[in-house]
Amino acid sequence: MAQDLSICFSQQSALAPAMPLVIAGSGPLLLLIAVQLHRAGIEISAVLDTTPKGRYRKALKSVTTRFAARLNP
C-alpha cells in the first residue's frame, strides 16, 4: 500500500501533494511512505510520528527476543 501511494503520486497519475509536505501518523509505514515520496522528488519538510512513548521500546524488545531465539535454537 505504501509503495502504491508514492507511485500513484509520482508516476502513474502525475499528481503530487502540495510542497513542502508534512507527514503525520504512527506505525512503520509512516517512514516508508516518507522515504518513497522523497525518492519520487516530493519535498518533505517534516515527519511527525505520533506513536506513544514506549511502543518502540516494546517492539524492539520483542524483535530482539525473537531474533535471539532463532540464533540459539
Summarised one tens digit per residue, pLDDT across range 18-53 is 778 899 988 778 888 899 888 888 899 999 988 887
Q: What is the pTM of this model?
A: 0.54
pLDDT surpassing 80 at residue 3:
no
- Contact (Cβ atoms closer than 8 angstroms) between residue 29 and residue 2: yes
Q: Which residues contact 38 (CB under 8 A, 6 or more apart)?
A: 44
**Which pLDDT value is given to residue 12?**
54
Tell me, what amino acid is at 13? S
pLDDT surpassing 50 at residue 4:
no
Cell of residue 57, nine digits? 521500546
Length of the chain: 73
What phi, psi does 15 have (nearest 5°)?
-100, 145
Average pLDDT, the chain: 75
The more confidently predicted of residues 11 and 25 is 25
